[in-house]
Structure 1
Amino acid sequence: MTNQVHIPYGKQHINEEDLQAVATTLQGDFLTQGPQILAFEKAFAAYVGATYAVAVTSATAALHLSAIALGVKENTRVITTPITFAASANCISYCGGTVTFADIDPQTALIDINAVRKILEAAPKGTYSGIIPVDFAGKAVDLEAFRKLADEYGLWIIEDACHAPGGFFTDSKGQRQLCGNGKFAELSVFSFHPVKHIACGEGGMITTNDKNLYDKLMLLRTHGITKDAEVMEENHGGWYYEMIDLGYNYRLTDFQAALGISQLKRADKGLERRRAIAQRYDAAFNGTAVNTDIGKFDEGNAYHLYVIQVPERKHVYDELKRKGIFAQVHYIPVHTLPYYKRKGFSAGDFPLSEAYYTKCLSLPMYPTLSDEEQDFVISSVLNSLPS
C-alpha cells in the first residue's frame, strides 16, 4: 500500500445486478408508488422475521413516523442513549416531546439497562412513555430484558436497528432473536444510507408485528391521505381521497426500492465478510494498547462499525488520515451538542459516554475491504500509537 490510497471507514458496493435492477425500473411504468416498494417491504420483513415493513425516505423519517404513530407529543418523555446519531433523539423533539438520556455500559457502548431503571425508579410511574435503545455499531441490544422493564413501567420500545440488519441477540431460552423481528419492540427502524449494509442512496424501513401501527405508518408516510372507502367519511367516485391525519411525503422511490431488493439478495454474504474483518482486527490488536472491547467479535454483531479505543485519539486519527485512511468517530455524545445543551444538558452529565468518546475510533469496515487494505490499516494504527 502507498500514501495514494483512499480507504474510508464505510463504503457502498454497487455491482452489475444492482445497476440492471435500477435501469429496468427506470425504463418501467413506475418511478414511485409502484410495485417495487411492496416487493422490497415484503423481502425485508422476511429477512428480519417481522410481519410488516414500511419503506420510507430515510431512517430519520422512519424514527419520526414511529414517534408519531406511538403518540409522542408535548410533554411525552422518552429515554435514549447519548452514543448514537442525533436522529435517535431528534425524533422525539420533532413531536414536541422531551428526551432523557441514560448512560452506556462501557464494555459495549450500548445503553445501560441499569441506568434506565434508575431513571424510571426516580420518577413517578407514568412519567415516561418509551425507550429508544440503539443497536450501536451492529451489536444487538438485549431487547428481551428491555421488554420486561418496559412492561413493568408501561412503556413502548422503538428499536433503532440502523446499524444491525442481520444482527441478533440470544434470548433467555437460547433462541436467536433477529434485530427488527418485532417480538420485543413495537417498532424497529433501519437505514439504507450508502455506508450501511443495504444501500439505496438514502432510505429507511420500519418493521413491526402490530397491524394497527402498520396501518398508521402507511397513512402517515403519504400525507395522511387515504382512498380506502371503509375509512373515508364520503366517497364521490374513483378519483376521491381524504386526508384523515397530518402526514408527510416520506415515500421511497421505486428505483431505490429496486436497488434495495438487489442489495438485500447478497446481504448475508456481506455480513459474513464484515464478521471476518472483525475477527482479523481482533487477532491483530490482541495484546496491544488498542482496546477492542467494543468491537470484540460477537457472532450476533452485524458490524456496521468496528470501534477501537486508543490513547491520544486525535493523533492516531490524524496519522491515519495522512496515510489515506479515513477513520471516523461514532459518536459525539448527543447531550453535548449545542442544541441539547440549550435544553439543559451539559458535559459531565453522562461520564461513561463522555469517557468513551475521548478514545473511540471507527476503523474501515465494509465487505469490499481487501485483506491487503486491512493489513495496511492495522499496521498504520499500531505505528501511530504513542510510544
Structure 2
Amino acid sequence: MIHSLPLADAPPATDQREHLLDWTPAQLTTWLSEHGQRSFRGKQIWQWIYRQRAVDFVEMTDLPESLRRSLAERFVIYRSSVVKEETSPDGTEKLLVRLPDGGEIECVLLRDGSRRSICVSSQVGCAMGCVFCASGLDGVDRNLTRGEILEQMLRLQGRLPVDERLSHIVMMGMGEPLANLNNVLPALDVARSPDGLGISPRRITISTVGLPVAIDRLSRHAVPYNLAVSLHAPNNELRSRLVPVNRKVGLQPVMDAAGRYFESSGRRLTFEYVLLGGVNDSVQCASQLAKLMRGRPVLLNVIPYNPVAGLPYQTPSAGQLRTFRETLESAGVNVRFRQRKGSEINAACGQLRRNRNAE
C-alpha cells in the first residue's frame, strides 16, 4: 500500500521562530528563568515532546496558559513537512521529509517482531560517492541540524501506537554520520537520555563508510554505541571503485580505526557488505573478505543489493548468494545475511527522493 500525502502543516521558510529541538535543556532552563518560570517546567516540556508525543504547545495542558503562548511565540517543535509516505506489506514505513529550505531527506520505521527500529538521515544527500547508492547521486547539500535529526526520530515514533516505543536507532539513512558528528552526537545524547527517548546506547548504531579521524573522535566520546563500517569490498582496488573516498583513506586505516573503537568501547564491530551481482560476490571476494575478518570479534552483515533505477547494479542470484555465504561460513566468519525489508517501497536510502523528483 502506497500513500501520497499533501504537505503537512508546517511553518513557512520565513518563520523566524526557534526550532526548540535545536535547544539544549540548559538553554531552555535559562530561557524559562528569564521569563519568570521555575526550572522544572523544562522537564515537563521535554516529557511532553519525547514521551507524550506532543506536536504543539497547546497540548501541554499542565503548563500555564501564558507560558504556552510564550512558547508558541518563540518556538516551533516541528519545522519540516512529510511530503510522501510509503508503507510496505511487511510493516516498513518510509517518509520523505521536506525541510524549510526545500531540501528533502528520508527516514524509515522497521517492524520486526517486538523490535521497532528506525533509520535516520544525517545529511541532505551524501558526499561519499558510493557508486551503487541513490543517496549520493546528487552529492551533498548540507549537514542536518541536531533538531532536524531529532525531528525524524519523533516523526517515526509518532507512527507507533501509544503502547509501543522505539527500541533501536540506526544512523544509516542519507548522508555520512561521521561527517556530521557535531550534530549527530548531541542528537544521540538526547535519544539515549532518560528525559529524551530513553534508548540504551547499546541499541543505537552509527554507520560509516570509514573515516578514521572521525572514528577516533567517536572513541573519545566514550559512549558505547554500536559501530557499523560499510566495507563493500575486500581489497583496496575494488573498494576504491565502489567507495571513492577510499582512494584518500585506504582500507587498512579504516580497519585499524575500527579496531581502536572496539578497544575503547568494548562493543562488537559490525562490517556491512552490500552484495552486488557480478561485482563483489565472487568466491575470490568471499575468500579475501574472510581473511580480512580473521581474528576480529565482528559480525559481517551481508546485504543483497536493492536495485536503483538508472544504475547498472543488480541483486545477486540465489546461487551466488549461497556460494558466497558457504565460503564465508566455511572460513569461520560470523556472518548474517540481512533480510530485505521494504523492497516494495524503494526502501534503499535516496530512492524515494529521486523517484519523486522524476515525477
Question: RCO higher in 1 or 2 (8 Å CA, sep ≥ 6)?
Answer: 1
Q: Normalising by structure 1, what TM-score?
A: 0.27
Which has a greater percent of strand? 2
Q: Normalising by structure 2, what TM-score?
A: 0.29
